[in-house]
Amino acid sequence: MEKQVSPLTPFENKPPKLSKSKSVAAGIPGVLASLKHSYKNNILSSVYNLSKINRFRGFDCPGCAWPDPDDHRSRFEFCENGAKAVADERTSKKANPKFFSNWSIHELSKKSDHWLNSQGRITNPMVLKPGESHYQPVSWDDAFKIIANEIYQLENPDDCIFYTSGRTSNEAAFLWQLLARWYGTNNLPDCSNMCHESSGVALNESIGIGKGTVKLEDFNKSELIMVIGQNPGTNHPRMLSALSEAKKFGSSIISINPLMETGMIKFKHPQKPLDIIGNGQNISDEHVSIKINGDMALFRGFSKVIVDNNSQNVDFIKNFTNGYEEFLDLVNSTTWEDIVKHSGISKDEIIRLGNIISKSKSTIVCWAMGITQHKNSVDTIQEIVNFQLLGGHVGRDGAGICPVRGHSNVQGDRTVGINHKPSKSFLESLSKNLGIVPPTNNGVDTVGAVKLMSSKSNTIFLSMGGNFASAMSDTLVTSKALSNCKLSVMISTKINRSHLITGNTSLILPCLGRTEKDVTAYGNQFVSVENSMGVVHSSEGHSKPPSKSLKSEVDIVCSIAIELEKLISKPPINWLKLSHNYDYIRNLIEKCLPDFKNYNKRVREKGGFYLPNPPRDNRIFNTKSGKAEFKSNAISSIMSYEDKFTMMTIRSHDQYNTTIYGLNDRYRGISNGRRIIFMNSNDMKKMNLEKNDLVNITSHYFNRKITANKWFVVPYDIPQGNVATYFPESNVLIPLDSVADRSNTPTSKSITVSIDSI
């Protein structure tokens, strides 16, 4: 039997088609692109569903965690990429048992991610038995028995890993962590470990909460908004409406990014016909073409200008902060030479921008993966916070700190307990309210999970959504680790590479998507989610599920627990009752987390409710000193030397993380290709490379070298010495040990590479 499956995406034979990158985001092309995608799949169902996105009693858009306008979910807001996410879930194609009997995992592994995803929704629970080449249908009962039996046989609960991807609802996530802790492990790695973990670590230390401090309404009250390391036109398109509205209220916008991303140039509001006809509104007033990872030094430079201009907010600093004197000394002793060297931006330019910035009375700083996925990300984010503290821009209208979250409920999952390093108080609360004895040792994060699975055979990997094999760094090492497991279980909607890179036994458990009706013995159920700004609200699907055999995520978690309860003796939890009526789950969440007071009542109100946020609401900082902390860290950056480049791995316009909707990156002018490397044309000249030449890329990390072959070179407006590739294709090049200090996030945006022409 051939179980040799390739964890890597196949090569592409043809070069991509290249055109000029676009200057305007959304508008008619955006709307048409979303309709085209919907049409290809299932137009009626998609159009019906688009009318339900982000509406009261509708479902939460699975596209991103950007909030809805605060007149709360009455306005029809969706975007091109939200529409694609919905159409992708509503596809009429089905990956049914016949499909799985036709395709061996070996054959499937030769297909592209785009092809795998386009096979449609998984309709039945499937099992891949040891040594077999094909998945076969399995009854739900048998599937749960297999899982319970395998878990029962583990010597140590810490040999079991419960991974979570951030699309999961609060209800399912709470039960998932409860299952793990009731059973006896804190092994709860999640996609956040690869995403905003650096923000959480930095902000917890600096301001006492791992979340941002702005509400959407603050955007219209701000004088200045800085958008750093983020591509909203593609990844948070509804944010462009907020930016464009803020501009109309007089705010200025500065973008800081190695690329001039299209959404940041001009924007046309897809829901406003008049906007669509015009030329589009300019978004950025200023753009800083920073070299990769130059941000920390740039912000030190801005702080230097603020200090030199004497425009600190002295009252705020005195009343609400700690560590100012030390930071001031550090700012004064940091030389311009170092700032310029690490940022790659000239002193004059930093002073010019710093002078504009120091005038702002209310500044919001937004960031995403361009800031969080580097070795010094935690330090960089703390430098951004220092800068905001200098101006007193926390806990004031129109100002604040705004990490823009990715997955639509990644913030909520963390709030309700998906955390490999749970707080003592949360564990105590679980123990007090549920009678369980949760373990107190930390669990593994995503990097830790790979190391655990690599070092020990016979572990178990259970996955609530997501695509761990492709999303994680070091694809070959990660895949080997997954194959070392005795059991892998994927709770999924669509096929992905993690279904092919399996443990000895593998199960696929197909679940309902966001758009679908969830009916239990107790009647229709809804779930809830938390957006990037701390609003918790309901999400209810109304469409018919693609197959009668699907179960909800909640039902799947409870069924695993019920089967396990037959084998091991643990404090009783009425899992069946919880799976029938989600109000009971919310009651439990409320008991364990007092911030969810009156959860069931408030989540039924239009727009939901804000979770308390002490820094934002009252300038209360739950840090050791009780004040917001200036953190004094030495500036650093990754440098690209001579023949080496610094590579960032980014998303195209046609993908949702590892889900590839299509092969185009419309705004950047790329069609029909993903295996490309964006390069500065001067660097290309130096290396005698022409457009669409093929190169091999080798990453260098201490003594380790990893080579990935055959990438098409694309000339692009990117700083010299920097290159960019798309993930997940390039994850093979990111060494497992290359992580951010303190947050352990893979350094997906800072990889040292060399490039060889073929």
Ligand X SMILES: Nc1nc2c(c(=O)[nH]1)N[C@H]1C(S)=C(S)[C@@H](COP(=O)(O)OP(=O)(O)OC[C@H]3O[C@@H](n4cnc5c(=O)[nH]c(N)nc54)[C@H](O)[C@@H]3O)O[C@H]1N2
* Binding status of residue 657 toward ligand X by CB under 6 A: yes
Reported as half-sphere exposure (CB side, CA atoms, 13 A), residue 13 has a value of: 0
494, 659 contact by CB (below 8 A): yes
Only one of the segments 4-12, 46-54, 269-277, 463-471 lies at the binding site for ligand X (rule: CB under 6 A); that segment is 463-471
* 662: partner contacted, choices Mo ion, ligand X, none (Cβ within 5-8 A by kind): none
Q: Which one, 413 or 563, has the nearer CB to Mo ion?
A: 413
User: What is the C-alpha separation between 381 and 335, in angstroms, rounded?
Assistant: 20
CA angle 407, 413, 415 (to 5 degrees): 125
Q: Which one, 18 or 718, has the nearer CB to ligand X?
A: 718
* 298: partner contacted, choices Mo ion, ligand X, none (Cβ within 5-8 A by kind): none
Q: Which one, 406 or 417, has the nearer CB to Mo ion?
A: 406
Only one of the segments 12-20, 246-254, 261-269, 398-406 lies at the binding site for Mo ion (rule: CB under 5 A); that segment is 398-406
Q: Least CB distance from residue 283 to ligand X, whole Å?
A: 14
Lookup result for tokens 């591509």: 231
* 640: partner contacted, choices ligand X, Mo ion, none (Cβ within 5-8 A by kind): none
What does the longest C-alpha to C-alpha distance in the chain come to? 73
300, 334 contact by CB (below 8 A): yes
- Per-residue x/- marks for ligand X, 404-423, CB under 6 A? --xx----------------
* Binding status of residue 370 toward ligand X by CB under 6 A: yes
Between strands 266-268 and 281-282, the pairing is antiparallel
* Binding status of residue 465 toward ligand X by CB under 6 A: yes
User: What is the C-alpha separation between 134 and 112, in angstroms, rounded?
Assistant: 18
* Binding status of residue 746 toward Mo ion by CB under 5 A: no
CA 155 to centroid of chain Cα atoms: 33
Only one of the segments 113-121, 403-411, 465-473, 539-547 lies at the binding site for Mo ion (rule: CB under 5 A); that segment is 403-411
Q: Which one, 181 or 407, has the nearer CB to ligand X?
A: 407
C-alpha dihedral sign at 287, 83, 275, 74: negative
User: What is the C-alpha separation between 150 and 160, in angstroms, rounded?
Assistant: 10
Q: Which residues pair with 127 in a beta bridge?
A: 136, 507
Q: Which of 165, 170, 312, 415 binds ligand X (CB under 6 A)?
A: 165
Token pair recorded at residue 540: 């209810």
Token pair recorded at residue 89: 């879930």
Q: Which one, 264 or 611, has the nearer CB to ligand X?
A: 264
467, 166 contact by CB (below 8 A): no
In degrees and rounded to multiples of 5, residue 351 shows phi and psi of -70, -40
User: What is the C-alpha separation between 355 and 343, in angstroms, rounded?
Assistant: 18
Q: Which one, 191 or 578, has the nearer CB to ligand X?
A: 191
What's the Cα-to-Cα distance from 100 to each of 103, 110, 137, 145, rounded to whole Å?
5, 15, 9, 22
Q: Which residues of 630-693 form beta strands (DSSP E)? A: 645-650, 655-656, 659-660, 670-671, 676-679
Q: Which of 124, 659, 680, 738 binds ligand X (CB under 6 A)?
A: 659
* 240: partner contacted, choices Mo ion, ligand X, none (Cβ within 5-8 A by kind): none
- For Mo ion (CB under 5 A), the number of binding residues is 2
Only one of the segments 339-347, 428-436, 464-472, 671-679 lies at the binding site for ligand X (rule: CB under 6 A); that segment is 464-472
Only one of the segments 188-196, 302-310, 567-575, 699-707 lies at the binding site for ligand X (rule: CB under 6 A); that segment is 188-196
* Binding status of residue 242 toward ligand X by CB under 6 A: no
Residues between 324 and 353 that touch ligand X (CB under 6 A): none
Q: Which residues of 154-238 form beta strands (DSSP E)? A: 160-164, 224-228
Only one of the segments 155-163, 399-407, 441-449, 556-564 lies at the binding site for Mo ion (rule: CB under 5 A); that segment is 399-407
Q: Least CB distance from residue 319 to ligand X, whole Å?
A: 31
Q: Which residues pair with 25 in a beta bridge?
A: 267
Q: Which of 96, 109, 222, 231 binds ligand X (CB under 6 A)?
A: 231
CA angle 677, 682, 684 (to 5 degrees): 40
* Binding status of residue 224 toward Mo ion by CB under 5 A: no
Alpha helices in 184-323 (DSSP H): 197-207, 216-221, 232-235, 237-248, 273-277, 295-308, 314-320
- Per-residue x/- marks for ligand X, 248-287, CB under 6 A? --------xxxx-x--------------------------
What type of residue sits at position 633?
N
Q: Which one, 293 or 313, has the nearer CB to ligand X?
A: 293
Q: Which of 171, 379, 445, 553 binds ligand X (CB under 6 A)?
A: 553
User: What is the C-alpha separation between 517 and 641, in angstroms, rounded?
Assistant: 55
174, 586 contact by CB (below 8 A): no
Q: Which one, 311 or 408, has the nearer CB to Mo ion?
A: 408
What type of residue sits at position 729?
E
- Mention every residue, 6+ apart, whose C-beta is less than 8 A from residue 423: none
* Binding status of residue 100 toward ligand X by CB under 6 A: no
* Binding status of residue 368 toward Mo ion by CB under 5 A: no
* Binding status of residue 427 toward Mo ion by CB under 5 A: no
Q: Which one, 270 or 406, has the nearer CB to Mo ion?
A: 406
Q: Which of 25, 188, 191, 628 binds ligand X (CB under 6 A)?
A: 191
* Binding status of residue 295 toward ligand X by CB under 6 A: yes
Residues between 183 and 202 that touch Mo ion (CB under 5 A): 195
Only one of the segments 46-54, 174-182, 274-282, 462-470 lies at the binding site for ligand X (rule: CB under 6 A); that segment is 462-470
User: What is the C-alpha separation between 650 and 653, in angstroms, rounded?
Assistant: 10
* Binding status of residue 406 toward Mo ion by CB under 5 A: yes
Q: Which residues pair with 724 in a beta bridge?
A: 648, 678
* Nearest residue to 738 via CA among 709, 704, 710: 704
Q: Which of 471, 529, 550, 679 binds ligand X (CB under 6 A)?
A: 471
- For ligand X (CB under 6 A), the number of binding residues is 59
* Binding status of residue 357 toward Mo ion by CB under 5 A: no
Between strands 704-715 and 694-701, the pairing is antiparallel
* Binding status of residue 554 toward ligand X by CB under 6 A: no
Q: What share of the chain is helix, strand, coil (3-state, %, to 5)?
A: 40, 20, 45
* Binding status of residue 560 toward ligand X by CB under 6 A: no
What's the Cα-to-Cα distance from 407 to each of 136, 188, 372, 493, rounded to whole Å?
31, 17, 15, 15
Binding site for ligand X (CB under 6 A): 63-64, 81, 165, 167, 191, 194-195, 228-231, 234-236, 256-259, 261, 290, 292-293, 295, 368-370, 406-407, 464-468, 471, 491-494, 496, 511, 513-514, 553, 648-651, 655-659, 727, 730-731, 734, 748-749
Query: Given the rule CB under 5 A, which residues bind Mo ion?
Result: 195, 406
